Structure 1
């Protein structure tokens, strides 16, 4: 949103303290451009109603797949995917976890699934690979 610490700012020139228009939009005092709180963001071009955003967050919390969420909300799959990615990005941006691993790291992989009897070789075909990385002195 075009707001820092509760104060609105122009997405074009960055100046704060725009004035409010009757249409619900804002106008910059310096460059005279009109904008709303979502101007300059991909959110401004997607435009699902806020009610759909709340439902999308609820479905995200319930771990519903993107395809199911798209059909439940009657929106396209790409729109639902971008919304789910935006929710994931917001969670990552607000978390205190560093984005890159530092120092010594440990990595391990394993394959899960049923055994195939009489199969030669390593037997990883048809199994689900699970891979994990953690910092040696980091928190889990």
Structure 2
């Protein structure tokens, strides 16, 4: 129904820097760089300078901040993404989203609010253009 010719950002799943396995549970805050894959259970916030993959068996109870996220498991918390959020058909997200680009596959469950922010540079350029257009209109 909706199509786009824009190229989407993808996460290189061949290079994973940190893996939390299927039979692993962690409580606390996770802060890391690079690509992190969670197939186990995480209770706490996740803050990454990089990408996050939540596998089908993965679950997070906490807020997420990352560059890009592929969500196939369960997240109960807010998700803030600088670039691309992909919610696959097996995913369940209960929480708010703030992202630049979002893809939600058919069958995914999302319960929350969604906000798509412009990048700071684009927002400043748009504000400058609006101000310039307003000044030019008043001068005529």
Query: Which of the five TM-score ranges fits, normalised by the shorter chain?
Result: under 0.3
Instruction: Give TM-score scaled by structure 2 length.
Output: 0.25
Instruction: Give TM-score scaled by structure 1 length.
Output: 0.25
| Higher Rg | 1
Choose between structure 1 and 2: higher helix proportion: 1
